[in-house]
Amino acid sequence: MLAIQVASPNQHIRPLTSRINESGHLTIGGCDVVELAQRFGTPLYILDEHTLRTACRQYTGALSRHYPGPSLALYASKALSLLAVSAVVAQEGMGIDVVSAGELLTALQAGVDARTVYLHGNNKSAFEIGLALDAGATVVADNWLDLETLADLAQDRPEPPRVMVRMTPGIECHTHEYIRTGHLDSKFGFDPNELPQVLAFLARTPTLHATGLHAHIGSQVFDLQAHIDTARVLVEWFNKALTLGLNFSELNIGGGLGICYTPTDDPPSIEQWVATVSRAIIDACQHYNVPLPRLLCEPGRSLIGPAGVTLYTVGSTKTVPDIRTYISVDGGMSDNPRPITYKAQYTAAVANKMNDSRRSVVTIAGKHCESGDVLLRDVELPPLAGGDVLAVFSTGAYNFSMASNYNRLTRPAIVLVSDGEASIVLKRESLDDLLRLDRLPERLQP
Ligand SMILES: Cc1ncc(COP(=O)(O)O)c(C=O)c1O
């Protein structure tokens, strides 16, 4: 058995089970990652089951310690929607937040109890809403179209479908503009100005069972105050809903807790985040003299991000004298679009040279036909040679889930590691897979 490190996974760059073995190789989950690269090929995503389970237990454990009312932590599966990940989080007693028919089916096929599944999205189709209702999931209404579709689809059902309302709380948080969602100028959720009409609509629509309110302010957030403010706004509107006679019983504070990508990142721990949010909800409920709602939260990045590592094989090198040395690897923006999209930064290590203390400054480039396809800029690493295995940390969230086939690259496999065993949880795409959906009209055939 591996020694268990009890730490908040989101405060660590490497998965909690990372070690260095006698060959000077990085090991994760008891597996030598250089051997994993040889066995499964690269690029390869690795997921450390222990790190994922630890994060799940910290959310559920902290909720039961700090929040005296009922609670449920949901996994925001947009971070990485896979059967295996859904099964692990469900085993850990969590529910799942989904945003599409595909994520919904993944959760359901993994055996997640539909009563713990919540469907989000700012432009859900009637088909997606219908699937969620047929399964018995809760739908989080983001706009009037959602409410109208729900009211339509609810008509012939024996039980009123459960519905929550997403609001934009008007909270600014410090994160990248594209992953900030709680400020008023956002495409998500109802503006507070509209909420009185929304609550009035729900009060006169008994075919819908409105259970409460949801807000999510953004992702990779380190600032606890933003979540305290969100909690207060949610309870303020919860109180207004109760005053109108609505039988609200749930509040969902969203996700957003940040993780460490580089040594300068300093996020609060999962325990601190849950304790702070719980306190803010309890205080606001006392202030408004309302009963404690069931508290939901929906972390994505802080659950799965630190569990993930991407392996690449080093290929060509180009040195631009007095400027920079580019080292190219066999993946890039197709398996990790975050650097080119958000200027996201990462930390890497050379998995087969973990005890090499020499350092040189290099830039790790991807293999795509795009100058911006750079995974790490000006980072210190041991001298690299062709065939070395580069491990990039904290890639569990929003890497595979945002991956593409740009330049017709095949998407990597994902292996789940635990106690020295590596199991494929997603097969590598083949070249045949790439062409599977192509059709060549007869008039173009040779
Ligand atoms: C509605 C909603 N909930 C939860 C999350 C998960 O956020 P994070 O991965 O930052 O925890 C997101 C992602 O942005 C989201 O849009």
Mean pLDDT (the chain, rounded):
95
Residues flanking ligand 1, CB < 6 Å: 76, 78-79, 97, 120, 181, 216, 219, 254-257, 298-302, 397
Q: Which residue has the CA at smallest separation from atom 5 of ligand 1?
A: 255
The mean pLDDT of 179-201, rounded to a whole number, is 86
Of 166, 167, 168, 108, nearest to 133 by C-alpha is 108
Of 110-114, 183-187, 422-426, 441-445, the one with minimum mean pLDDT is 183-187
Residue of 260, 285, 297, 369 marked catalytic: 369
Looking at the DSSP bridge assignments, the partners of residue 72 are: 296
Sequence-separated (6 or more) residues with CB below 8 Å from residue 420 = 29, 30, 31
**If you measure from the C-alpha of residue 263 to the centroid of ligand 1, how many angstroms do you get, rounded to a whole number?**
23
**Domains present along the chain, CATH in parentheses:** 9-44+307-435 (2.40.37.10), 120-299 (3.20.20.10)
Neighbouring-strand partners of residue 296: 72, 252
Beta strands 374-381 and 117-119 are: unpaired
The answer to whether residues 108 and 330 touch, using CB atoms and an 8 Å cutoff, is no
Higher pLDDT, 7 or 22: 22
Pick from 96, 99, 167, 219 the residue to mutate for probing ligand 1's pocket: most ligand atoms within 8 Å of its CB.
Answer: 219
Q: Tell which residue, 46, 47, 51, 59, has the closest CA to residue 17.
A: 51
User: What pLDDT shows up at residue 180?
Assistant: 60
Q: Determine the average pLDDT of the residues in 419-441.
A: 97
**Ligand 1 centroid from CA 217, angstroms:** 8
Active site residue 285: no
Whether the per-residue pLDDT at 3 is higher than 50: the answer is no
The mean pLDDT of 276-304, rounded to a whole number, is 98
* % of the chain surpassing 90 pLDDT: 93
Q: What is the mean pLDDT of residues 414-434?
A: 98
**Distance from the first to the final alpha carbon of the chain:** 60
Q: Which of 78, 178, 217 is the best mutation target for the ligand 1 pocket, counting ligand atoms within 8 Å of the beta carbon and taking the most?
A: 78
**What is the mean pLDDT of the segment spanning 194-215?**
97
No. of helices (H) and no. of strands (E), the chain:
12, 20
Q: Is 329:314 a contact under the CB 8 Å cutoff?
A: yes
pTM exceeds 0.85? yes
pLDDT in tens, 150-175: 999 999 899 999 999 999 988 766 66
At residue 156, the pLDDT reads: 81
Of 430, 429, 438, 416, the residue nearest 85 (C-alpha): 416
pLDDT at 432 over 70: yes
Above 80 in pLDDT, residue 183?
no
Q: Is 434 exposed, middle or buried (0-12, 13-18, 19+ CB in 10 A)?
A: middle
Ligand 1 binding pocket mutation candidate from 220, 301, 338, 400 (most atoms within 8 A of CB): 301
Residues of 249-287 as b/e, b for ≥16 C-beta within 10 angstroms?
Answer: bbbbbbbbbbbbbeeebebbbbebbbbbbbebbbebbee
**Is the pLDDT at 181 greater than 90, yes or no?**
no
Inter-residue long-range contacts of 319-324, CB under 8 Å, 24+ positions, other chains counted: 324/362, 324/363, 324/378
